[in-house]
Amino acid sequence: MATKDPILENVGMTHLGSPKVLLQKRGGPMLQEFRDFAMHGNMIDMAVGIIIGAAFGRVVSSFVSDILMPPIGLLRGHSDFSTKFINLSGHAYATLAEAKAAGAATINYGAFFNAAFDFLIVAFAVFMLVRQVNRLKREEKPPAVTTKDCPFCLSAIALKATRCPHCTSELKAT
């Protein structure tokens, strides 16, 4: 399939066909199905949700590491909780940074606690969000039926009516 695309001609790739074909409405049912899928409203909503979720995760991480953990570390007598570690190498290191620079094996329990608090806060926030959405989505009960149709004239009448006010037909009690 030779094309008249000057860019493809310059690089000697005219045999591949023009990429402009993919952007046009032509292309076959699979390409059309993918285009419909990618542009579907739910896909865009999901992408926006993922982006907002990532930003929310960064805010929560900052909240935990910069606001929540320092007072907890201060109560324990330590100023920075995220640098707490257990050294497994047998050599003494004053800080986590020194141990990492030396390649020592460490258990970084401070970073783990920060991540666990991040998770708990995000999980609680998601729980509260889902709870509110479920509260809003609860279907209201339909209003109680107070009328019925007259079997003779099909006008709406009260449930307890014994005579239709429109056609004066006598009704059986139900």
151: which DSSP letter?
Answer: T
Place of tokens 């969000």: 129
Query: Where are the chain's structural domains?
Result: 6-38, 41-137, 142-174
State which H helix or E strand residue 121 sits in: helix 109-137
pLDDT of residue 1: 47
pTM score above 0.75: no
**What pLDDT shows up at residue 75?**
82
- The CATH number assigned to the domain with range 41-137 reads 1.10.1200.120
For the chain (174 residues), the mean pLDDT of every run of 10, in chain order, is 62 62 62 75 80 87 81 74 86 90 91 85 85 82 86 90 90 75
DSSP-derived secondary structure for 68-112:
IHHHHHHHTT-S-GGG--EE-SSS--SSHHHHHHHT--EE-HHHH
* Cα distance between residue 130 and residue 135, in whole Å: 8
